[in-house]
Amino acid sequence: MNLSRAELERADREDQNFSQQHNHNTTFRQHSSKTITTPATKYTSYLKILNESHILLVHNMATSRFSQSPSLPIAASVFATIFVGFGINAILRPQNALEFFEFEAPAASDKKVVDGLMIIYGARDIFMGLAIYSATYFGDRKSLGWILIAASGVAFVDGAVCRAQVGKGEWNHWSYAPILTAVGSVLLGVLDKA
């Protein structure tokens, strides 16, 4: 285990104090009044530091705040990127986006209406992605958590529409809804300990 310079200096100071208080012969004064510490006393000091670090680690685990994990904003950014990608796909390639819903290609007379609706759908997905990005980088974790939970509701509704209209394709949407809810709930502090 590598100890930082500050930890080594602290160990030396503690070792000097210990030696002075207990009158041990483990440190010797030279003419220049420098302190020479034996390896045995340094080892004892390192053990004290490790023990204190272990106590601090156990305390931190007992009072951990999972909502502050640095991996959560990364996960949220991944979801945001997926939503933006779906939105751009729906706007530029409406027919491909319809296939994600398992819908058949519209008749020629309905194509203009369906393409218009896919642009609206694409704008919705881009908005969700940008809202997640904004809350990730400029907002707080609770607002990000609520946005992710709301996005999971959108995914659930999309899947329900697929199931009701086509009878299949719901898991294209329902598969990621619980993940959005889980990440959002962790951001809200559900797993944090007091």
At residue 49, the pLDDT reads 62
Alpha-carbon distance of 183 to 131, in angstroms, equals 16
- Helix pair angle (141-165, 71-92), 10° resolution: 40
At residue 125, the pLDDT reads 95
Alpha-carbon distance of 11 to 47, in angstroms, equals 9
At residue 137, the pLDDT reads 92
At residue 97, the pLDDT reads 86
